[in-house]
């Protein structure tokens, strides 16, 4: 068996040009699939940026809410009832809304405003500059330094602007774990200031953030909130719900998935055709092996081994190339959303296995039908 694999490897690497072409074909397919799946993962993560950045263990919301950007206010009594539930360590209100900021040069810029609980400031961002307690100053706001930060005309501490004719002052510059997707800068302020600056409905609480006393109390909290007619979700559950909304109920997820499948079909075609051409060009060698007594099973093992070697080398080089391109792109383009995850790597690996199996099938069909007499007669 070792001798057969040695022969298979020598046949494969005998012509360096063909060998490199095979690896390049797989690597190009992997590169395409990695780019699309990583971009998809990055976009899906950014749709739930507020959920990840605020980092609350549980979220209470209206049951008809689909995503984090939906604005369905909760009545005031819900907060009081949630705080009274056994197992709730504390619960605080959160306001999220969109507004127009009038900058110092007179230009208007759409912004996402998050109002934190005045007493605890739960969910506050990590500050790069400034003091968190300055948010209690008159008209104090914290701006997030992410890909959309420049749209605030490079705001610094002390920069003034207006929101709905209400004066705002930048008192801090924060950073976010995950940048937003929708191209709007994010401002943090207190709950009271947010509902004063923006037009609001009769109820003003967008979400209730809950800290359970322990993991064991989560199911009880969900049950009690459901009895009130509302829904409580853990951070992971809310993130998945938000992601599934964009994945299945908007064109964003479907279009990226279609592009991923197209890249897979392209890779499958390139790899299959290239490997089949390799088998045809080495048909005499395979005929000679069959003539000296190589069995059908052993020929299949040779083909599978060659396809696996090419597939795994191509996978490694493709992942390396894709990861390098993503890393370099993020250094130059701050709002580039691609994200390399274990899920992407595993999905691409499974696709490579399919490509290897398809390529092997094409080669096996040709090799097992060889008649050694025809080879030597030629």
**Within 10 A of 352 (CB to CB), how many other CB atoms are there?**
24
Polymer length in residues for the chain: 378
DSSP H/E element including 132: none
Tokens for 343, please give them. Answer: 């899920």
* H or E stretch at 217: none
Question: Strand, coil or helix: what is 124?
Answer: coil
User: Residues of the chain with pLDDT > 70: what percent?
Assistant: 96
Task: Name the pLDDT band for 371 (thresholds 50, 70, 90).
Answer: low
15-51 core/surface letters (b: 16 or more CB in 10 A; e: else): eeebbeebbbbbbbbbbbbbbbbbbbbbbbbbbbbbb
Q: Beta 207-212 vs 58-61: how paired, if at all?
A: antiparallel
The token duo for 64 is: 């008809």
pLDDT-based confidence at residue 23 (cuts at 50, 70, 90):
confident
- Domain locations in the chain as residue ranges: 2-46+251-377, 75-229
CA dist 38 → 261, 271, 292 (Å): 13, 21, 49
Predicted pLDDT at 232: 95
Higher pLDDT: 190 or 373? It is 190
Rounded to whole angstroms, the Cα distance separating 313 from 331 reads 27
Residue 78: pLDDT band (50, 70, 90) is very high
On whether the CB atoms of residues 237 and 323 are closer than 8 A, the answer is: no
State the burial class of residue 227 (Cβ atoms within 10 Å of its Cβ: 0-12, 13-18, 19+).
exposed
Mean pLDDT along residues 108-132: 92
Burial class (CB in 10 A: 0-12, 13-18, 19+), 288: middle
Higher-confidence residue: 33 or 8? 33
Kind plus residue range of the DSSP H or E element containing 130: strand 126-130
Q: Report helix, strand or coil for 113.
A: strand
pLDDT of residue 176: 85
pLDDT bracket for residue 376 (50, 70, 90): low
pLDDT at 372: 62
Judged against a pLDDT cut of 80, whether residue 86 lies above it is answered with yes
Nearest C-alpha neighbor of 209 from the set 117, 125, 275? 117
What confidence tens digit (pLDDT) does each residue in 141-164 have?
A: 999 988 888 888 878 899 999 998
Give first-to-last CA distance, the chain, whole Å: 29
- pLDDT reading at 378 higher than 60: no
């Amino acid at each position: 068996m070792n001798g057969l694999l040695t022969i298979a490897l020598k046949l494969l690497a005998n012509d360096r040009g063909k060998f490199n072409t095979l690896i390049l074909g797989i690597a190009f397919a992997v590169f395409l699939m990695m780019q699309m799946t990583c971009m998809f993962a990055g976009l899906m993560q950014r749709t739930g940026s507020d959920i990840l950045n605020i980092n609350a263990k549980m979220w209470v919301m209206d049951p008809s809410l689909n995503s984090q950007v939906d604005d369905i206010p909760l009545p005031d009594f819900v907060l009081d009832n949630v705080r009274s539930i056994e197992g709730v360590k504390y619960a605080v209100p959160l306001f999220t809304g969109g507004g127009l900021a009038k900058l110092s040069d007179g230009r208007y810029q759409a912004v996402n405003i998050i109002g934190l609980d005045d007493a605890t400031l739960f969910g506050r961002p990590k500050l790069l500059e400034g003091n968190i307690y300055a948010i209690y100053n008159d008209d104090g706001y914290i701006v997030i330094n992410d890909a959309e930060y420049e749209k605030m005309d490079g705001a610094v501490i002390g920069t003034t602007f207006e929101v709905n004719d209400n004066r705002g002052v930048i008192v801090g510059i924060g950073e976010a774990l995950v940048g937003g997707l929708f191209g709007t800068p994010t401002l943090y302020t207190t709950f009271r200031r947010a509902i004063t600056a923006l037009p609001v409905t009769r109820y003003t609480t967008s979400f209730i953030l809950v800290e359970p006393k322990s993991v064991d109390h989560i199911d009880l909290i969900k049950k009690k909130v459901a009895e009130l007619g509302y829904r409580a979700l853990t951070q992971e559950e809310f993130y998945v719900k938000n992601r599934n909304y964009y994945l299945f109920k908007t064109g964003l997820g479907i279009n990226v998935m279609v592009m991923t499948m197209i890249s897979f079909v392209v890779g499958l075609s390139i790899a299959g055709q290239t490997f089949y051409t390799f088998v045809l060009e080495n048909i005499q060698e395979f005929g000679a092996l069959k003539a000296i007594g190589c069995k059908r099973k052993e020929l299949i093992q040779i083909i599978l081994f060659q396809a696996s070697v090419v597939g795994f080398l191509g996978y490694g080089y493709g992942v390396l190339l894709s990861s390098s391109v993503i890393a370099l792109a993020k250094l130059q383009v701050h709002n580039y959303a691609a994200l390399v995850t274990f899920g992407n790597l595993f999905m691409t690996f499974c696709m490579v296995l399919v490509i290897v199996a398809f390529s092997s099938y094409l080669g096996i069909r040709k090799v097992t039908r060889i008649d050694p007499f025809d080879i030597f007669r030629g």
